[in-house]
Amino acid sequence: MASRASDPGIGWLSIVRLGLVQAAIGAMVMLATSMLNRVMVVEYGVVAAVPAGLVAWHYAVQLTRPIWGHRSDRSARRTPWIMMGLGIQALGTVIAVDATILIPQWYGPALVLAILGFTLIGIGVGMAGTALLALIASRVSVARKPAAAALTWTMMIAGIVVAAGVSGKYLDPFAADRLAIVASMVVLCAFSIALLALRGLEVRSLSLSAPRGEGEGASFGQVLAEIRADPRAWRFTGFVFISMVAYSIQDLVLEPFAGLVFDMTPGQSTQLAGLQHGGILLGMLIAGAGGTLHARRYGRNPTLWIVLGCTGSAVMLAGLALAALTGRAWPLTANIFCLGVANGVFAVAAVGAMLSMASDGRTAGEGARMGVWGAAQAIAFGTGGLLGALLLDLMRTMGADNAAFATVFAVEGVMFIAAALVAVGIRLRGASTPKGAFT
């Protein structure tokens, strides 16, 4: 078997194409977890726990990620799994949008339809996302993995920013038919771009790559047993869960916060979410470039960048808690943008560590390991989003909206500090990045 350490891996053009697929996945997810959440809560008066429960359900469905990852490990190619997942996600997104539009007239049937839509979204994201990450982890050289993590995640956030910006621009003045048209066009464009990016990629770029690993024929149970027996992999799973709970609490709270406390329109709050993702984009670039420059002199240290990102996120969330109490005098847009920057630094550092650790197993392939961490992330996202929404609803029944949002943001900040402490205890290793890794 060819050595993975000496495998030159795929080139930068192929990595960029995989980043376009990440962008497509992110653009479609934005519609379900951000825009539809805002419309349900503010325009249609649905309690925040309903969209939070739907989003939590789509994350619960992603517990199947280890299965999809293991199956892609045992397949000749991973791209068919990615394309199938993209198609399922696109169908589920359109169904979820239609269900949202039906809420004012037929609440019960619309909720059932929404559950179906979010189920398909969860299956699609789990299948496509896990196979894509496994493809990056298994076919990108060790030296390029940190930069590949920054590049692909930067492109994913860029896709979210573009989708949020376009949606926000054409969604005002709000109307149900306008929502249907805008969402359908975003889904169509994202799906088409992803398919074009994947066309012929695995055949041309990966045909000469090294074999997958020693455990291609291992059963799913054997794969899970090996991962559980690896202390670093299991502790890293715990870190992923805690950090992603902190990361996701704000997802279903931020746009309602902008609407209820700062009186923003649906288009304005959607654009605010786009601004946050623009900050995430900048944070990812900072982590990618800064991490490489730091590695040239001191060696790559993902823990340093993870701690910086988590701590910065906690500080910015403290600012949002003050914004909830201060009101319109607070520089909300600057605070949201800086929160995005800190989130981006944390995210790229965590993903870079994940990609580097994915190839450590003997029986467990990259797909299975990425699937386990993806499942932990999915549980955390569902838990965090639902926790934030339930806490918000509870606090709103006890007092003013301002105090309720301040409490939610404060809890999220504490979670980020806890995640930073856990990361320090794991002592993550990062692949060294030699000079020229970005060339």
Per-residue pLDDT of the chain (439 residues; tens, 9 = 90+): 344 444 456 778 888 999 999 999 999 998 888 788 878 887 888 887 788 788 878 888 988 888 888 888 777 788 889 999 999 999 999 999 999 999 888 888 999 999 999 999 999 999 998 899 888 877 877 667 767 777 888 888 788 878 888 887 888 788 888 889 999 999 999 999 999 998 877 765 444 344 444 445 566 677 777 777 777 777 888 888 988 888 888 876 887 888 888 888 877 877 787 788 788 888 988 887 776 666 566 555 677 888 999 999 999 999 999 998 887 888 989 999 999 999 999 888 888 778 777 666 555 567 777 888 888 888 887 788 778 878 888 888 887 788 888 989 999 999 999 988 888 877 655 444 333 333 2
Report yes or no on 6 lying in a domain: no
pTM of the model: 0.74
Report yes or no on 148 lying in a domain: yes
Q: What is the total count of domains within the chain?
A: 1
The pLDDT score that the predictor gives to residue 320 is: 93
Report yes or no on 434 lying in a domain: no
DSSP state of 252: T
Report yes or no on 1 lying in a domain: no
Q: Which of 25, 51, 52, 46 is nearest to 383 (CA)?
A: 52
What would the pLDDT profile of 97-141 be if each residue is shown by its tens digit?
A: 999 999 888 888 999 999 999 999 999 999 998 899 888 877 877
**3-class SS of residue 140:** coil
- Strands (DSSP E) contained in 9-129 are none
The pLDDT score that the predictor gives to residue 335 is: 94
Three-state SS string over the chain comes to CCCCCCCCCCCHHHHHHHHHHHHHHHHHHHHHHHHHHHHHHHHCCCCCHHHHHHHHHHHHHHHHHHHHHHHHHCCCCCHHHHHHHHHHHHHHHHHHHHHHHHCCCCHHHHHHHHHHHHHHHHHHHHHHHHHHHHHHHHHCCHHHHHHHHHHHHHHHHHHHHHHHHHHHHHHCCCCHHHHHHHHHHHHHHHHHHHHHHHCCHHHHHHCCCCCCCCCCCCCHHHHHHHHHHCHHHHHHHHHHHHHHHHHHCCCCCHHHHHHHHCCCCHHHHHHHHHHHHHHHHHHHHHHHHHHHHHHHHHCCCHHHHHHHHHHHHHHHHHHHHHHHHHCCCCCHHHHHHHHHHHHHHHHHHHHHHHHHHHHHCCCCCHHHHHHHHHHHHHHHHHHHHHHHHHHHHHHHHHCCHHHHHHHHHHHHHHHHHHHHHHHHHHCCCCCCCCCCCCC
The pLDDT score that the predictor gives to residue 100 is: 92
Residue 437: which H helix or E strand, with range?
Answer: none
How many whole angstroms separate alpha carbon 141 and alpha carbon 137?
A: 8
Locate 26 and state its tokens: 């992110």
Residue 141: which H helix or E strand, with range?
Answer: none
Report yes or no on 261 lying in a domain: yes
Report yes or no on 268 lying in a domain: yes
The pLDDT score that the predictor gives to residue 153 is: 80
Which residues are CB-contacts of 105 (< 8 A; sequence separation ≥ 6)?
A: none
How many whole angstroms separate alpha carbon 255 and alpha carbon 253?
A: 6
Q: Cβ of 294: how many Cβ atoms within 10 Å?
A: 15
Identity (one letter) of the amino acid at 221? G
Q: What is the largest CA-CA distance in the chain?
A: 64
Report yes or no on 120 lying in a domain: yes
Which residues are CB-contacts of 236 (< 8 A; sequence separation ≥ 6)?
A: 353, 354, 357, 373, 426, 428
Identity (one letter) of the amino acid at 351? V
Report yes or no on 435 lying in a domain: no
DSSP state of 104: T
Helix axes 176-198, 79-102, angle to 10 degrees: 180
Q: Which CATH number covers residue 292? A: 1.20.1250.20
The pLDDT score that the predictor gives to residue 189 is: 93
From residue 306, how far is each of 13, 221, 360 by CA, in Å? Answer: 28, 31, 21
Domain limits for position 154: 12-199+218-426
